[in-house]
Amino acid sequence: MYFPNPRQKRRTVTAFLLPSLIGVVVFCLVPIIVSLAYSFLDYDVLRPLSDALFVGLQNYKQLFSSDEMPKALWHTFQYILYYMPLVMVLALVEASLLNRAFRGNGVYRVIFYTPVITSWVAAAVVWKWLLSGKFSPINQFFALFGITAPTWLADPNWAMFGISMAAVWKDCGYFALLFLAAMKNIDRSYYEAADIDGARWYQKFFRITLPLISPTVFLLLVTTLIGSFQVFDSVQVMMSGLPTQATTVMMERIYTYAFKSYQMGTAAAWSWILFLIILVFTILQFRLQKKWVNYDV
């Protein structure tokens, strides 16, 4: 739309952007500022705000002096170490297979993507049943081969791995779809030249495919790491009624303090610590991507 008058153009642009800006301010910026203020208060949400006491950095000191923070951080990192390599590698394999021309390719794409559109709560309930004790379906399958599988969710050493397996099953199709889209954009002439030179399939993958889809890999690494630090729903549903000492992640602590203990100041302090951790890792990823991400296609 053309506006000969600059003032009229500014008014029109402002009118279109104002509803979105109001939403961003009311539902994003204001809660962020309020949560930062809460982190310096001893505030119980069941009492009037006027009863809140300013305690300064006491909430942060209390977190770092307790053993909750190291445990929650370690469990969160456990989830990341299990989940991210598995989902990235399996999605790359899946995308590479789906990138080939074979009969029923479209049907397999739908099948692999179906878990993505499944409700996390429903998926977590199913996986809780699959991993529930030594008589669970998965353990019975291992028993056919004489393998004694762990009790998964009830075992502190395997609980987080069980949750990670469910997350990989749920998200793998989404990653594979993005990888597949990136692979489809690669010029076939690269592979034709590699075939003439006698390159093997793994050489083509590591020398052509992987470097050319590295921007997509980087995007998924950033978004996945941010999402992994905020893992909550799968832990909350799958560990319901089970010992949770081995799965107390950061978001679970925030939820517990805010909506079970009603200690909003402590919960806000937890959330800001989590924000700073995510910020540090995101900045680190952007610094390191200059060494391996290839944008020159």
CATH of the domain at 110: 1.10.3720.10
Q: Are residues 32 and 72 in the same domain?
A: no
Split into its structural domains, the chain has a count of 2
Rounded Cα gap, residues 43 and 10, in angstroms: 43
Rounded Cα gap, residues 286 and 297, in angstroms: 20
Whether 56 is covered by a domain: the verdict is no
**Per-residue pLDDT for 4 more than 80?**
no
Whether 49 is covered by a domain: the verdict is no
Q: Are residues 76 and 23 in the same domain?
A: no
CB of 242 within 8 A of CB of 153? yes
- For 29, the domain range is 1-36
Q: Are residues 29 and 145 in the same domain?
A: no
Q: Are residues 84 and 202 in the same domain?
A: yes
CB of 219 within 8 A of CB of 91? no
Tell me the pTM. 0.88
CB of 238 within 8 A of CB of 128? yes
What the block records as the tokens of 5 is 């008058």
Whether 296 is covered by a domain: the verdict is no
Whether 249 is covered by a domain: the verdict is yes
pLDDT tens by residue, 206-250: 999 999 999 999 999 999 999 999 999 888 888 876 766 778 899
Instruction: Compute CA 228 distance to the chain's CA centroid, rounded to the nearest angstrom.
Output: 3
Whether 54 is covered by a domain: the verdict is no
Q: Are residues 263 and 170 in the same domain?
A: yes
54 sits in which H/E element: strand 53-54
Whether 51 is covered by a domain: the verdict is no
Q: Are residues 80 and 25 in the same domain?
A: no
Place of tokens 């749920």: 170
Q: Are residues 28 and 71 in the same domain?
A: no
Least confident of 37-46, 89-98, 242-251: 242-251
Which residues are CB-contacts of 53 (< 8 A; sequence separation ≥ 6)? 41, 42, 43
Q: Are residues 132 and 266 in the same domain?
A: yes
Rounded Cα gap, residues 21 and 19, in angstroms: 6
Q: Are residues 160 and 30 in the same domain?
A: no
Whether 55 is covered by a domain: the verdict is no
Whether 62 is covered by a domain: the verdict is no
Rounded Cα gap, residues 60 and 41, in angstroms: 11
**Per-residue pLDDT for 152 more than 80?**
yes
Q: Could you report how far apart the first and last alpha carbons of the chain are, in Å?
A: 34
